[in-house]
């Protein structure tokens, strides 16, 4: 079967995090809205009709949430 690349969209995911350029932004924090487009291959799911060949929106959200909480050092390193 031909590979079936598709996109999963997570739009308008809201997070509160302590990111920013100025010290005050990292102390007070702010609301962030994330729009994500994830490309994946659904070939296995199409062939077998099994959920293990798909991607869980809940798992995607959890990964983004974790990154939003932990990326403060990454943002600072970009300055």
Helix (H, G, I), strand (E, B) or coil at 5: strand
Cβ neighbours, 10 Å, residue 29 = 15
CA dist 53 and 11 (Å) reads 22
C-alpha dist (Å) from residue 14 to 4, 21, 56, 60 = 30, 20, 18, 13
pLDDT digits (tens, 9 = 90+) for 44-71: 887 888 888 788 899 999 999 998 887 6
Question: In the predicted model, what is the mean pLDDT of residues 23-44?
Answer: 88
Topology, domain 5-77: GTP Cyclohydrolase I, domain 2 (3.30.1130)
Query: Do 40 and 75 contact (CB within 8 A), yes or no?
Result: no
Look over the chain and give the mean of its residue pLDDT values, rounded to a whole number.
Answer: 83
Domain boundaries in the chain? Answer: 5-77
What the block records as the tokens of 28 is 């007070």
């Amino acid at each position: 079967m031909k590979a079936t690349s598709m996109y999963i969209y997570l739009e308008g995911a809201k997070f509160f995090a302590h990111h920013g350029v100025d010290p005050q932004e990292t102390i007070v924090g702010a609301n962030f809205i994330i729009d994500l487009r994830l490309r994946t291959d659904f070939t296995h799911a199409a062939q077998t009709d099994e959920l293990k060949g798909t991607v869980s929106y809940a798992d995607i959200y959890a990964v983004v949430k974790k990154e939003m909480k932990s990326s403060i050092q990454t943002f600072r390193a970009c300055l």
